[in-house]
Chain A
Amino acid sequence: MHSQILKFSNSKIMDLEKFVQYVHEENKVEPKDIMPDDYRKLLVRQISQHAHSEIVGMLPEANWISRAPSLRRKMALLAKVQDEAGHGLYLYAATETLGNGTIRADRDATYEDMLEGKAKYSSIFNYPTLSWADIGAIGWLVDGAAIMNQVMLMGNSYGPYSRAMVRICKEESFHQRQGYEILMALCRGTKQQKEMAQAALDRFWWPALMMFGPNDDSSPNSKISMNYRVKRESNDSLRQRFIDVTVSQAEFLGLTIPDKDLKWNEERGHYDFGELPWDEFMTILKGNGPCNKKRLQTKVKAQQENLWVKEAAAAFAEKQQKEVI
């Protein structure tokens, strides 16, 4: 016998207490359900920025497709970058379910916000990819961190976002394995190849850790998000878990993590680690990272130069309609 789902709205009036109780009992909210305004706004912002991250995230990796060292590597990288486009799509589709009379959540509107710099994407994608080894580091560390975050988000309270996460997580694990395999090949190769791999780790380690966001005590939005069961685990907790699982992966490669304070703490049962370079993080958030401007310029240019595709498709559809009549 199915259990009675607790109703959280009586005749179209939002009952906040009942809504919070509803999500605390692990129930899913669906698009047509009545929801608090701040829940809707929080989700439109988070899901669309997640989508922007997938799309902009294609750029640093697409950069190396033409210079992949073998056909196998090229096919794998192409497939990964294509996947990211698809992930962006799932997330824009999830965002759109939240549009109502007062909030615009369609993909054109949210995408425009990104192009105009009003909406953010994950800070990690404002770093350049300087060598082939960077592609390996990104797959291993950046996708690794994303997987951890996305597995957590699979349990979030908003149905469409939760389902998109399940789909994305299934596809994401090939991304991490692809990156790690690249580094394995480099670390087993020549001295220069191993040095290139180490240099990539040196450059991406701290930025990857900062993907989990600020420390919990510097993250005021986290509390609201956790109460609405959108966020399920704190930034610091995720970051600690990521470090704990990644250290042995680095040891297997024979690489050194660039943190002199990294040390196993038997008492805590976790690795102790050094202070994160938060100044660098803030610089990037403010738009002054190494690639912020370049990323936006590239996306604006792509939009302008390729609008004709959409226009042609729409014109073709119209022509077809006329012929039918």
Chain B
Amino acid sequence: MANLDMWEVFIQTKPGLSHKHAGTVQAPTAEMALQNARDVYTRRKEGTCVWVVPSKYIVSSEGMDQESFFDPADDKLYRHPTFYDIPNDVKNM
């Protein structure tokens, strides 16, 4: 018997926070995937909201040529606050 569809599970621990990846479940329908995810990943009230996404729809940058994919950000130090020299006398900055 073939494996059922794979789903990635994302849990929001508290309203206002982002959903975080928690793991995977196998299920043939979205509803069952959601129920399985709740059963496995929220046994201790870990979440206020659960998302399930078929694994095949996740597009990842992983495994690509990491360096060149993120290269443009590497030498742009001026995007960081520490690049700018403001004297300590200036408050609230």
Contacts and interface: CB of A to CB of B under 8 A. Distances in A.
Interface of A: 1, 5, 7, 30-34, 79, 82-83, 86, 89-90, 93, 96, 106-108, 164, 167, 171, 307, 310-311, 313-314, 316-318, 320
Contacts of B28: 313-314, 316-318
Q: Is the interface of B mostly helix, strand, loop or mixed?
A: loop
A307 B43 contact: no
B1 A32 contact: no
Interface in B35-73: 40, 43-44, 60, 62-63, 66-67
Given A31-B62, A33-B62, A83-B43, A314 B4 contact: yes
Given A93-B24, A316-B28, A33 B63 contact: yes
Contacts of A32: 60, 62-63
B contact residues, range: 20 to 34
Contact of A313 (B6, B27, B80): B27
A159 to B, nearest CB: 10
B17 interface: no
A114 to B, nearest CB: 16
Contacts of B26: 107
Interface string B21-34: 00111111100100
A320 B80 contact: no
A33 to B, nearest CB: 6
Q: Chain B CB within 10 Å — which of A107, A314, A316 has the most?
A: A314
Given A32-B62, A86-B40, A93-B23, A313 B3 contact: no
B1 A311 contact: yes
A317 B63 contact: no
Which 4 A-B residue pairs are closest in the complex by CB-CB distance? A32-B63, A317-B28, A32-B62, A93-B24
B77 interface: yes
A27 to B, nearest CB: 12
B62 A317 contact: no
B1 A307 contact: yes
9 contacts: A7-B67, A30-B62, A32-B60, A34-B63, A82-B43, A89-B25, A93-B24, A108-B3, A171-B44
A109 B28 CA distance: 19
